[in-house]
């Protein structure tokens, strides 16, 4: 079976470097907030074009702590796209704020034309998710944030180094949030996350919030601090990934380009990339009418598929109290029923790519 993702392959590609990095930490005796976290933060900030970076324990907490640092809380509304991963929304509700959902566009990102009518005097921020690796078209969203004095936040968990108009995601808003979950384009070997910003005060605050609300040992300054630090060993491993980020990204882009040129089946709708938006192809997501039949066919051909995501956040059980109902966000709900992703990962062989193409092209024939 060709898996949808296989994290061991990228390990094998740079095995010696990863092993040396991990051993270096094990032998250093410094396992929390050491030199690797410090250097990782500098290197990652520079690689995305931000001034500052704070390494945290995962992407969900990056969002949660980032919003906390901005003072987003009870009584505030945050606009978020209706087809994002639940973690984006958890970051809002963990702070006591209310998510206001916005429909996605045909590129699976926030629909810039569905935003303005949802802005109220309670709206504090818009968080865009650059979903599946494709940068969101940012110009109109930036203008709306300026017009209504809203914080612009970016969930870049799936889109390391994606670009809109040649500028990397994470640098458009006041805060950019990243996940380094192992299957992400830039993934750790365990959990990891980061917040990037150009704002020095916020940087200092987030650094404290991730460390019990303190910058001086046993002097606790900020309320509701967390233990949400990026592990030293993950930082060391991520530094290897950052060093090879261009190759890692390009490999996924080239697999996506082969899919785009070789898959041809009228029963399958290929993903498209919006003008000015670069995708780093974290996921390769198709739309099909009869998804169950497609998945069954792919399985019979020895190809695993996956669904990101089968239930939109507004219909998730955990948000029952928000009183949303089916039919409220028809575009997001349509996607939840029809999207399906193909295998795409670093270290995928040419034979595997060709088998996936053959399987998709033979669907319904």
Ligand X SMILES: Cc1ncc(COP(=O)(O)O)c(C=O)c1O
**Closer to ligand X by Cβ: residue 153 or 208:** 153
Q: How far is CA 350 from CA 1, 35, 110, 356, in A?
A: 15, 39, 34, 10
Residue 61 Cβ, how far from ligand X at the closest point, in Å?
7
Q: Among all residues, whose Cβ is closest to ligand X?
A: 59
State the minimum distance, in angstroms, from the CB of residue 183 to ligand X. 8
Give the Cα-Cα-Cα angle 241, 244, 250 (nearest 5 degrees). 115
Give the integer Cα–Cα distance in Å for 134 and 157.
Answer: 11
Least Å from the CB of residue 256 to ligand X = 18
CB of 312 to ligand X, least distance (A): 13
- Residue closer to ligand X by CB (options 186, 288) is 186
Taking the C-alpha atoms of residue 307 and residue 85, their distance in angstroms, rounded to an integer, is 11
Choice between 169 and 359, CB closer to ligand X: 169
| Other C-beta atoms lying within 10 Å of the C-beta of residue 23 | 12
Pick the closer one to ligand X by CB: 80 or 268: 80
Q: Give the residue among 150, 92, 84 at the shortest CA–CA distance from 121.
A: 150
175-179: strand order across its sheet: 52-56, 193-197, 175-179, 151-155, 123-129, 77-81, 98-102
For 331, phi and psi rounded to 5 degrees? Answer: -70, -45
Closest separation in Å from C-beta 361 to ligand X:
29
Q: Which is nearer to ligand X, 157 or 263 (CB)?
A: 157
Phi-psi region of 176 (alpha: psi -120 to 50; beta: other; left: phi over 0): beta
Binding site for ligand X (CB under 6 A): 58-60, 84-85, 87-88, 129, 155, 157-158, 179, 181, 191, 193
59 versus 176: smaller Cβ distance to ligand X: 59
Is residue 194 within 8 A of residue 44, CB to CB? The reply is yes
Element (H, E) at 121: none
Is residue 179 within 8 Å of residue 130, measured between CB atoms?
A: no
By beta-carbon proximity to ligand X, the closer residue of 155 and 352 is 155
* Min CB(313)–ligand X separation in Å: 11
CA-CA distances (angstroms) from residue 112 to 41, 107, 262? 32, 11, 31
Nearest distance in Å: CB 160, ligand X: 11
| Least Å from the CB of residue 27 to ligand X | 27
C-beta closer to ligand X: residue 234 or 268 = 234
For residues 176 and 343, which CB has a smaller minimum distance to ligand X in the complex? 176
- Cβ proximity to ligand X: between 87 and 144 the closer is 87
CB of 69 to ligand X, least distance (A): 17
Residue 303's contacts (CB-CB under 8 Å, 6 or more residues apart) are 1, 2, 342, 343, 355, 356, 359
Nearest alpha carbon to residue 303 among 227, 357, 345, 267 = 357
What is the three-class DSSP state of 194?
Answer: strand
- Closest CB 85 distance from ligand X, rounded Å: 4
């Amino acid at each position: 079976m060709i898996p949808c993702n296989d994290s061991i392959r990228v390990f094998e590609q740079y095995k010696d470097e990863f092993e040396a990095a991990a051993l270096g930490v094990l032998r250093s005796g410094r396992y929390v907030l050491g030199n690797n976290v410090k250097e990782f933060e500098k290197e990652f900030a520079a690689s995305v074009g931000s001034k500052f970076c704070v390494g945290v324990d995962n992407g969900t907490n990056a969002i949660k702590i980032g919003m906390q640092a901005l003072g987003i809380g009870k009584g505030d509304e945050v606009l978020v796209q209706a087809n994002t991963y639940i973690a984006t929304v958890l970051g809002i509700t963990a702070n006591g704020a209310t998510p206001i959902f916005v429909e996605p566009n045909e590129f699976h990102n926030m629909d810039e034309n569905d935003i303005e009518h949802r802005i109220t005097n309670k709206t504090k921020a818009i968080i865009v998710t650059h979903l599946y690796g494709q940068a969101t078209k940012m110009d109109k969203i930036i203008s709306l944030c300026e017009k209504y004095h809203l914080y612009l936040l970016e969930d870049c968990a799936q889109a390391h180094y994606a670009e809109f108009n040649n500028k990397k995601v994470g640098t458009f808003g006041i805060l950019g949030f990243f996940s380094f979950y192992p299957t992400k384009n830039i993934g750790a070997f365990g959990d990891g996350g980061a917040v990037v910003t150009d704002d020095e005060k916020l940087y200092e605050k987030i650094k404290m919030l991730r460390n019990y609300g303190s910058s001086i040992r046993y002097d606790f300054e900020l309320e509701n601090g967390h233990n949400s630090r990026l592990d030293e060993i993950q930082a060391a491993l991520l530094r290897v990934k950052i060093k090879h980020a261009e190759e890692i990204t390009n490999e996924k882009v080239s697999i996506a380009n082969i899919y785009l040129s070789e898959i041809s089946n009228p029963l399958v709708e290929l993903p498209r990339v919006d003008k000015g938006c670069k995708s780093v192809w974290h996921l390769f997501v198709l739309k099909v009418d009869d998804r169950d039949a497609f998945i069954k066919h792919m399985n019979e051909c020895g190809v695993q598929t996956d669904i990101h995501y089968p239930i939109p956040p507004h219909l998730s059980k955990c948000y029952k109290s928000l009183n949303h109902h089916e039919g409220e966000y028809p575009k997001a709900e349509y996607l939840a029923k029809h999207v399906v992703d193909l295998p795409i990962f670093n270290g995928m062989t040419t034979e595997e790519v060709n088998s996936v193409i053959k399987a998709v092209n033979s669907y319904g024939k």
